[in-house]
Amino acid sequence: MTRPFWESDAMTDARELLFVGEKMPPLLPAVDHYAGSEKTMLKALSLQQEMGAVFDITLDCEDGARVGNEAGHAKLCAELILSANNRFNRVGVRIHAVGHPHWQADLETVLRLAGRRLPFITLPKARSAGEVRRFLRALREGEVRHGLENAIPAHVLIETHGALREVWRIAALEGVESLDFGLMDFVSGHGGAIPAAVMQSPGQFIHPLIVRAKCEISAAAHASNIVPTHNVCTELTDAAYVENDARRARQEFGYLRMWSIHPAQIAPLLAAFTPDAAEAETACALLAAAKAAGWGPIRHAGKLHDRASYRYYWRLLERVETP
- Angstrom distance (rounded) from CA 182 to CA 256: 15
CB 181 within 8 A of CB 209: no
pLDDT at residue 69, as a whole number: 93
- Tell me the mean pLDDT in the region 97-116: 97
3-state class (DSSP) for residue 293: coil
pLDDT at residue 21, as a whole number: 79
Percent helix, strand and coil across the chain, each rounded to 5?
A: 50, 15, 35
- Tell me the mean pLDDT in the region 115-125: 98
Burial per residue of 289-315, b for 16 or more beta-carbon CB atoms within 10 angstroms, e otherwise = ebeeeebeebebeeeebebebbeebbb
- Tell me the mean pLDDT in the region 269-297: 90
- CATH dotted code for 24-274: 3.20.20.60
pLDDT at residue 15, as a whole number: 76
Q: Which residue has the higher pLDDT, 280 or 55?
A: 55
3-state class (DSSP) for residue 299: strand
Strand-pair category, 298-300 with 303-305: antiparallel
Across 218-232, 270-284, 293-307, the highest mean pLDDT is recorded for: 218-232
- Angstrom distance (rounded) from CA 129 to CA 165: 9
- On the question of pLDDT at 262 being above 60, the answer is yes
- On the question of pLDDT at 218 being above 80, the answer is yes
Neighbours of 196 (CB within 10 A): 11
* CATH 3.20.20.60 in the chain, residue ranges: 24-274
pLDDT at residue 18, as a whole number: 87
pLDDT band of residue 1 (cuts 50, 70, 90) is very low
Of the candidate ranges 152-161, 185-194, 308-317, the one whose mean pLDDT is the lowest: 308-317
